[in-house]
């Protein structure tokens, strides 16, 4: 018998913005926030999809709140590690005399704060992270220096540090019923692949092995282990969470894979990959990492669906809400349309329902049908060049007779 709907609350890519956490929890039937204490209702599960820090002045607070919830309710809280979380492991070496080979010589010889700013802006896609951390520290100590900012990161990654403990509590993949949760995406060369391991055909065995490999990498970091050739024994997880050199994606990684085209337009997995998942009993994939407008995108193809719920870099400040059960998904969030109007999208969709245009793509324009708005209009979405997006409200009658298909290519 299927569990009552909904049973899972999903949030991802808070990125140091406390308001995203509070807006997600407000009037949420499964998760509440009492001060800094996040509480999951009995019988429910909260899945955080990764990227807790970097782009806001509350990164430490977010990490500590999520870690505290995991410790208090370990069977009900799942933490996935995002690239913005994992890549901080680099700092213990780079800030202590071992910067990346491509670090300019003048930056290598500069004071630590100069190096850290350069690392954030040039190698982590985290412009402003230094100032955000300083602002957070200043709230409790008005005399914070730039050196204090550097020390705070090293403290967080040191023995007993909150970020180290948080990363240790994380995993890379999690399955609940017919739903698979990842941070980034899934591709043919990541499903079944575990670094330094033979290919694993069974999906569940693969997930267990991938999580075990991640735990071993974090243990190596915590113990400060080095390989026989003098390289950090945790170097593999650093590479796993990063894009392939020269590209914006790493299709061999569930952390840095993307369920999107080069323009970031949402796209379903290939039919062959969907077939492999459905044969394993997985009919839904839920990911973050790649923005797709102000509210989550649901994409579907017959009895399979993909939920992309990273709405960072959006036009609204709060976070959308994704609630899940085996047979249904409920999505709600604010949207700022191209014409400047604020609207609210909210819908519930049953898995396998072929009667609705939700999650389908208009074949003539490439626009994704996101769902109904509070005004009675429907939201169409399309990714555009230069990381811009199109969010249009249309009368539902304009969708009648239009050719719709699975979202496999961008507009």
| Segments in 323-369 forming alpha helices (H) | none
Q: Is 97 exposed, middle or buried (0-12, 13-18, 19+ CB in 10 A)?
A: exposed
Estimate the crossing angle of helix 146-157 against helix 162-169, to 10 degrees: 40
Q: What three-state secondary structure class fits 396? A: helix
- Which residue ranges form the domains of the chain, and what is each CATH number? 8-94+163-357 (3.60.21.10)
CB 85 within 8 A of CB 52: yes
What is the C-alpha end-to-end distance of the chain, expressed in Å? 40
Please report which helix (H) or strand (E) contains residue 286, including its range. Answer: strand 284-287
Q: What three-state secondary structure class fits 36? A: coil
Q: What is the pLDDT of residue 401?
A: 87
> In the beta sheet, which residues pair with residue 76?
none
pLDDT one digit per residue (tens) for the chain, 411 residues: 455 689 999 999 999 999 999 999 999 999 999 999 999 999 999 999 999 999 999 999 999 999 999 999 999 999 999 999 999 999 999 999 999 999 999 999 999 999 999 999 999 999 999 999 999 999 998 899 999 999 999 999 999 999 999 999 999 999 999 999 999 999 999 999 999 999 999 999 999 999 999 999 999 999 999 999 989 999 999 999 999 999 999 999 999 999 999 999 999 999 999 999 999 999 999 999 999 999 999 999 989 999 999 989 999 999 999 999 999 999 999 999 999 999 999 999 999 998 999 999 999 999 999 999 999 999 999 999 988 999 999 999 999 989 999 988 643
- Bin 167: left if φ > 0, else alpha if -120 < ψ < 50, else beta: alpha
Q: What is the pLDDT of residue 409?
A: 61
């Amino acid at each position: 018998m299927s569990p009552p709907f909904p049973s899972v609350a999903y949030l991802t890519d808070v990125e140091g913005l406390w308001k995203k956490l509070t807006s997600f929890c407000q009037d949420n039937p499964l998760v509440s926030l009492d001060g800094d204490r996040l509480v999951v209702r009995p019988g429910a599960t909260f899945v955080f999809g990764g990227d807790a820090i970097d782009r806001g002045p509350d990164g430490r607070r977010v990490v500590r709140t999520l870690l505290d919830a995991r410790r208090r309710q370990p069977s009900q809280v799942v933490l996935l590690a995002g690239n913005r979380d994992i890549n901080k492991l680099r700092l213990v070496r780079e800030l202590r005399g071992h910067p990346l080979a491509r670090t300019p010589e003048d930056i290598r010889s500069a004071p630590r704060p100069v190096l850290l700013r350069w690392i954030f802006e040039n190698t982590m896609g985290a412009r402003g992270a230094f100032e955000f951390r300083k602002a957070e520290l200043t709230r409790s100590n008005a005399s914070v220096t730039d050196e204090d900012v550097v020390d705070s990161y090293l403290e967080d990654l040191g023995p007993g540090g909150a970020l180290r403990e948080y990363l240790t509590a994380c995993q890379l993949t999690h399955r609940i019923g017919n739903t698979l949760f990842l941070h980034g995406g899934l591709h043919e060369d990541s499903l079944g692949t575990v670094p330094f391991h033979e290919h694993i055909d069974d999906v569940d065995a693969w997930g267990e092995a991938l999580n075990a490999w991640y735990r071993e990498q974090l243990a190596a970091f915590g113990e400060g282990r080095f390989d026989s050739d003098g390289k950090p024994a945790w170097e593999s997880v650093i590479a796993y969470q990063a894009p392939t050199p020269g590209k914006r994606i790493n299709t061999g990684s569930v952390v840095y894979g993307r369920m999107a085209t080069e323009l970031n337009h949402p796209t379903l997995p290939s039919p062959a990959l969907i077939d492999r998942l459905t044969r394993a009993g997985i009919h839904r994939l839920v990911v973050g990492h790649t923005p797709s407008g102000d509210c989550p995108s649901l994409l579907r193809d017959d009895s399979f669906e993909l939920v992309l719920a990273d709405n960072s870099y959006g036009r609204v400040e709060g976070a959308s809400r994704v609630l899940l059960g085996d047979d249904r998904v409920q999505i709600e969030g604010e949207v700022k349309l191209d014409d400047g109007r604020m609207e609210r999208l909210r819908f519930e969709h049953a898995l396998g329902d072929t009667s609705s245009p939700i999650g389908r793509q208009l074949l003539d324009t490439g626009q994704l049908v996101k769902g109904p708005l509070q005004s009675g209009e429907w939201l169409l979405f399309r990714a555009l060049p230069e990381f811009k997006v199109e969010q249009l409200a249309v009368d539902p009658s304009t969708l009648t007779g239009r050719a719709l298909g699975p979202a496999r290519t961008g507009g």
